[in-house]
Amino acid sequence: MLRCFLLHSHDLVADHNVSAPYGAQLQSLFPRRKFARRCVLIFAVSSVNQFHAMAAKQIVVFGFGAQGSAQARNLAGSGEKVAVFLRPSSPRIEEVKKTNIPFLTNMKQAAAEAEIAVILFSDGEQPSLWKEIEPSLPKNAAVIFAHGFNIHYKQITPRADLDIILVAPLAQGDTLRSDFAEGKSTPCLIAIAQDATGSAKKTAFDYARAIAKDGPFIETTFAEETETDLFAEQAVLCGGLFSLIRTAFDTLVENGYNPDIAYFCCLKEVRALANLIHENGIGGARERISDTALYGDLTRGPRVIDNHVKDEMKKILGEIKSGEFKEELLNDRKKQNPLLRRLKEQGKGHLIERIHEKFKGGGS
Ligand SMILES: NC(=O)c1ccc[n+]([C@@H]2O[C@H](COP(=O)([O-])OP(=O)(O)OC[C@H]3O[C@@H](n4cnc5c(N)ncnc54)[C@H](OP(=O)(O)O)[C@@H]3O)[C@@H](O)[C@H]2O)c1
């Protein structure tokens, strides 16, 4: 079986396996082009040399969720030899069937075939599933993670003969996939925890290029990726932002303002500002807001996010670095997440959720 790849048009043939006779199969893929059998063979071999950066090693992607689905499709689009493992009960089996990417439902068999194993199960499930995968992995296989948590906090301690690699796309799975399909690159963090073969770094960069084109790729360590990722989601992206929105909403409502208006001002308009910052940075966004908004930003912003907030951020970072946050999280998980479930239920009862139900889909 030979995987076919067309220069500059790889998405056109993504997910198509081409086996001999090549001419006939390419003809059916591209009915309006004329393929001579000999010229197709030369074309196919040269494409392997140019694009099979991982030397046609068998890649097995474990899990087909947000990242698994995107990475497997991008690998196929880059002409890599990729298969997917899903559990037999997975609701995503029909979805993977539509891609033409081969899939396995036997974990041991999938592990035994994996010259490169990509662990894209949910982070909480990885340590127990790893115990099933590891014994069957071939000697000197490469193992790729998309987040450093389980290696950094020693929830997984792999065999010494394995290359342990981090390729963490700095994007949600659907963005990684849509950017690739549109020919755009995605930034990734890259790190090596174990280099048993001496070629872990090459494998990491080859893999990153196959899922994210030209990056940029930033070299880091498992520790730095894990700690900055946890800190950013706690201080800004989830914890900080969600609390900021709800506290501002509560302040308006408690002072007699219409909750519908508070919802639009404090929640819905965040999207426009997030896009502005994403495109232009904070300085550029400041060039594009009204002079009144700018004055309010510069004089009041530092009062909202003051030194007390920074001190709290430092404490939170300390808990991440010391492992205190990890211990707390894993203890809750061990007991089936009682704290997580209680706090999630509490959040659902907030007025802002009822207003959101009312206006779902509408607004800016
Ligand atoms: N989401 C992101 O944007 C993002 C970004 C960068 C890095 N990451 C990292 O990527 C990795 C995967 O995250 P994700 O967000 O893609 O996860 P996800 O969407 O929750 O998908 C998890 C996958 O794991 C499978 N799975 C879970 N438990 C299983 C079990 N017991 N047995 C077999 N399969 C099981 C699920 O199977 P079913 O199909 O059967 O449900 C699903 O296919 C994580 O390390 C995460 O930190 C994620």
pLDDT in tens, 162-215: 999 999 999 999 999 999 999 999 999 999 999 999 999 999 999 999 999 999
Model confidence at 360, pLDDT cuts 50, 70, 90, reads: confident
What's the pTM value of the predicted model, to 2 decimals?
0.83
Residue 144, pLDDT above cutoff 80: yes
| Percent of all residues in the chain with a pLDDT value above 90, rounded to a whole number | 83
Q: Which entry of 52, 147, 350, 356 is annotated as an active-site residue?
A: 147
Q: Which residue has the tokens 């690159």?
A: 185
Residue 239, pLDDT above cutoff 60: yes
Closest CA to 78 of 204, 216, 172, 211: 211
Contact 73, 15 (CB under 8 A): yes
Closest CA to 242 of 81, 148, 136, 356: 356
Q: Residue of the nearest CA to atom 41 in ligand 1? A: 90
Q: What distance in angstroms lies between residue 162's CA and the mean position of ligand 1's atoms?
A: 22
CB of 64 closer than 6 A to ligand 1?
Answer: yes
CB of 4 closer than 6 A to ligand 1?
Answer: no
Total Cβ atoms within 10 A of residue 180: 25
Element (H, E) at 104: strand 103-104
Ligand 1 atom closest to residue 69's alpha carbon, by position in its atom list = 16
What's the average model confidence in pLDDT over 233-261? 98
CB of 85 closer than 6 A to ligand 1?
Answer: no
Distance from C-alpha of 311 to C-alpha of 355, rounded to nearest angstrom? 33
pLDDT in tens, 299-326: 999 999 999 999 999 999 999 999 999 9
Q: What distance in angstroms lies between residue 124's CA and the mean position of ligand 1's atoms?
A: 9
Ligand 1 atom closest to residue 89's alpha carbon, by position in its atom list = 40
Quote the mean pLDDT of the chain.
Answer: 88
Question: Letter for the amino acid at 348?
Answer: K
Q: Which two tokens stand for residue 60?
A: 């097995």
The CA–CA distances, whole Å, from 99 to 13, 64, 94, 266, 270 equal 11, 12, 9, 41, 35
CATH topology of domain 53-220: Rossmann fold (3.40.50)
Q: Indicate where the chain has its CATH 3.40.50.720 domain(s).
A: 53-220
pLDDT in tens, 280-295: 999 999 999 999 999 9
Distance from C-alpha of 75 to C-alpha of 63, rounded to nearest angstrom? 14
The CA–CA distances, whole Å, from 246 to 73, 262, 310 equal 38, 10, 19
147 is catalytic: yes
